[in-house]
Amino acid sequence: MQSQIDNRFWMLRPDVVSTVLNDGAVILDLRSKFFFSANPTGWAIAQMFETGTTRDEVHKACRKWGAADAGIPEINALIDQMISEGLVESVNTPTTATTNGVTVAAWVSPTLSKHREPLQRIMVSAFDPGLPLAE
């Protein structure tokens, strides 16, 4: 199956948003309400999907950032996770994939950790009828 998706262009879905942190980023899937924590390398890879990219282009960028060939399985695992979680979608019209000035200060294995609870279970709305009213 991997050979079938190696040449496809993938792009972050429009309803996937992120917030950059000092040590990576938090990525929120507004459709599923699940959020993910990415380390700096994982975030750099995810940024490539903002304009659309292929697996091979991600590999090339990661090598430029300092990844060895031994790190390719970890990179593929992150890409496969983004695809299986539905964070990216296949696009028919490829864009010009670029790293958009994305840099990685020091290469570490990329991680993308899915949080166990969706956002609606963590955030409590003041308008939730299940909450007692302040008197």
Q: What is the chain's Cα-based Rg?
A: 17
- What is the fold, at CATH topology level, of the domain defined by 2-93? Outer Surface Protein A; domain 3 (3.90.930)
Mean pLDDT for the chain overall? 84
Residue 111: per-residue pLDDT: 96
Q: Percent helix, strand, coil in the chain (nearest 5)? A: 30, 20, 45
CA separation for the pair 91, 116 (Å, rounded) = 29
Tell me the pLDDT tens digit for each residue of 12-41. 999 999 999 988 999 999 999 999 999 999
Most confident range, picked from 50-54, 82-86, 100-104: 82-86
Is the pLDDT higher at 128 or at 107? 107
